[in-house]
Amino acid sequence: MKIGKVLKSKRGLVGIEAAIVLIAFVIVAAAFSFMVINMGLYATQKGRETVRQGVQEASTPLTLDGSIIIRGTTNGTVDAIIIPIKTLGVKYVPMGSGTTVVTLRIENKTAYANIYYGISTTDPTGLSYAELISGVPTSQAKLFIENSDGDNSLDYTEKGYLVIHLSSSEAANEREHVFIEIRPEQGAPLSIEFTVPSEVDQGYNTIG
């Protein structure tokens, strides 16, 4: 009888030990599962951010908002370009002189790495094209913002007019190719390319 009681007691101890080991395995498995799920969520979030950033870098936040206007001179050349722009898919685009670059190249003549001198404080509402151009020194480009709230950004509720003023020696001749690139701080640049018409009337002409 005594031997039987000892065996039963040992079986009880083995059962408790097995239960403790099983509980330990369950706790470790639960902790490991939580870590795996947490890492999976983190990886998913980082992947989503990477994709979003890639899409932003591949797409431009600016787009044309109408026809490009060129000013023809008495010599049949083009000495000013007005480009209407607005935001695309974003609430605002920083357009300060420190965050935006505007490059200009006129075929076989002029090439500037950056002619952008920031946002003009002049409200373009009600002003003529001639008045806008007169507010931009030659060999420079400035952005006039209609309905501006006074900050250094182009908001989705605003419309911008990028005015490029060329000197007489830089004016584009007939049939010359003009290349303009507006590169904001984030996102792909807005690239504009056109050919000066074979016949440029004096005054303001529309490029489609």
Looking at residue 109, what DSSP letter applies?
T
Per-chain mean pLDDT for the chain: 83
Q: How many residues does the chain have?
A: 208
d(CA 177, CA 129): 23
Look up residue 172 and give its DSSP letter. B
- For the stretch 30-47, pLDDT in tens is 666 666 666 666 556 655
CATH topology for the 62-207 domain: Immunoglobulin-like (2.60.40)
Please give the DSSP secondary-structure letter assigned to residue 120. Answer: -
- In this prediction, residue 146 carries a pLDDT of 93
176 contacts 108 by C-beta, under 8 angstroms: yes
Q: What are the pLDDT digits (tens) for 154-200?
A: 999 999 999 999 999 999 999 999 999 999 988 889 999 999 998 89
Q: How far apart are CA 165 and CA 171, in angstroms?
A: 9
Strand order in the sheet with 190-195: 110-112, 101-106, 177-183, 190-195
The answer on pLDDT for 65 being more than 60 is: yes
Whether pTM exceeds 0.85: no
